[in-house]
Amino acid sequence: MASLYDYSIEEVLNPHQIKNSMDIKVTEMAKSRLHEMGVSEDVFLRIGVKSGGCSGNTYDAVLDDSMQEFDDVYYTDDKLRIVSDKISSVHLDGLTIDFSNDLIEPGFRLTNGNAQGSCGCGSSFSTEPKVNTETSFSV
């Protein structure tokens, strides 16, 4: 996992930069649902990664309106911003966010193209080589 020592002094001293090098995709269905939930110019989707689950990492996603000291914007499109802290961000590259209305398990789906694996229930993942793995979350 990354630490603050993995970043240049400029990255640490200039918080809230827009990072365009991340490969993050948000489907139209997910964008629509996030806007229905209140995402706007002032409210963004915060995605963090914390240790947990069978495979080592889980996503933590909430709507927020307050940038923190070590946050950066990793995705912007149509008033939708995805924000994460610098340490969690190493797990966001290759992420696709989708929303499904299916009857069995409606909700958001996060597919991490860089995940090495995930647990059977799909709630946690591990990263390294590129293998497509899906996890879900509720906001």
Residue-level pLDDT at 23: 85
Q: Which two tokens stand for residue 53?
A: 């689950």
Residue-level pLDDT at 132: 45
Cα–Cα nearest to 35, from 25, 45, 21, 48: 45
10-residue mean pLDDT series, the chain (139 residues): 49 54 89 95 91 76 91 87 88 90 88 72 61 52
Residue-level pLDDT at 1: 44
Residue-level pLDDT at 30: 96
- Tell me if the pTM is above 0.85: no
Residue-level pLDDT at 88: 85
Residue-level pLDDT at 18: 63
Residue-level pLDDT at 127: 67
The residue to which tokens 């989708």 are assigned: 98
Cα–Cα nearest to 23, from 116, 113, 120, 131: 113
What is the CATH topology of the domain spanning 4-137? Hypothetical Protein Aq_1857; Chain: A; (2.60.300)
